[in-house]
Amino acid sequence: MTQPVQPLCGFLNVLKPPGMSSAHVVSVVRRLLGGAKVGHAGTLDPEASGVLPLMVGKAARLFDYMQDKEKAYVTEVAFGVATDTQDAQGVPVATGENYPDETALLSALPAFTGTMMQTPPMYSALKQDGKRLYQLARDGKEADVPARQVTVYELALRGLTVHHGALLSVRCSKGFYVRTLCHDLGAFLGCPAHMRFLLRTQSGPFTLETAHTLEALREAADRGTLPDLLLPPEAALAHLPMTNVPQGLEKAVRNGGRLPWKCFAALHDTPAAEGTPFGLWMDGALCAIAQRQQALVKVRTWLAD
């Protein structure tokens, strides 16, 4: 008897090329996987390139549990011109020739390191009154965009580039706009600036070293080995405690029944804090994400078939 095909469930680390939207990458990979459910875990601007983690199948249910607070980039800031989009695709809105040298740049970077308030750009996918900010901007409308708290863990100058540019490496929290950093750095130094280039080298646990190009994915699909490139669901959950389903509770877990906390409390690797999510393993695979609620354990996200 032919064994049933198991639904795909996991993460695919894609190296997004410049000039392609994140949604387009999702569409290409969905087609290569034969129509499987695919979504991206953190978008990249169309002209940016680099790490774009994709969630395949039930792995999409893990988005809220992923440790995506930390991201890393390499960017080139171009001094002399500021644009309405804060990147090289926008319309110039200011020019200047007070180009900073290496000493000026090095002295300015500490002001953009640490926890700070940053105002997102108008040309962004954030929503206000149900509309994307970039849609409002294209319609010639203004919006009061509130600043929000972000963190830059590391910011370093990697060298000067041609045409009054500088290469920076950035390690930051989620929600941080690198093109806004480039714009604000120019304003701080008295020379209009914009972002010329952006490469994301890390998104949570996914890094540039393990990312696959679309060409490599197409070749794997032609060979029938594309599913082998998927990382298991737990690849994005290394920060969560994990434990096996206690003996005798397997049926209750599958049926969504009551799970007494006292059966878990004896397991040394289960978190004791109420409300802390943790992974449940059964039959050698991650089957669910659960949380303690007083005397019971509630399954919050089911992953098994």
Grouping H, G, I as helix, E, B as strand and the rest as coil, residue 41 is: coil
Determine whether 68 is exposed, middle or buried from the number of CB atoms within 10 Å of its CB (0-12, 13-18, 19+): middle
Q: What does the H/E/C string look like for the chain? A: CCCCCCCCEEEEEEEECCCCCHHHHHHHHHHHCCCCCEEECCCCCCCCEEEEEEEEEHHHHHHHHCCCCEEEEEEEEEECEEECCCECCCCEEEECCCCCCHHHHHHHHHHHCEEEEECCCCCCCCEECCEEHHHHHHCCCCCCCCCEEEEEEEEEEEEEECCCEEEEEEEEECCCCHHHHHHHHHHHHCCCEEEEEEEEEEECCEEHHHCECHHHHHHHHHHCCHHHHCECHHHHCCCCCEEECCCCCHHHHHCCCCEEHHHHHCCCCCCCCCCCCEEEEECCEEEEEEEEECCEEEEEEECCC
For residue 57, what are its two tokens?
């199948």
Q: What residues are annotated to the active site?
A: 45
Cβ count within 10 A of residue 208 = 17
The upper half-sphere exposure of residue 105, i.e. CA atoms within 13 Å in the direction of its Cβ, equals 23
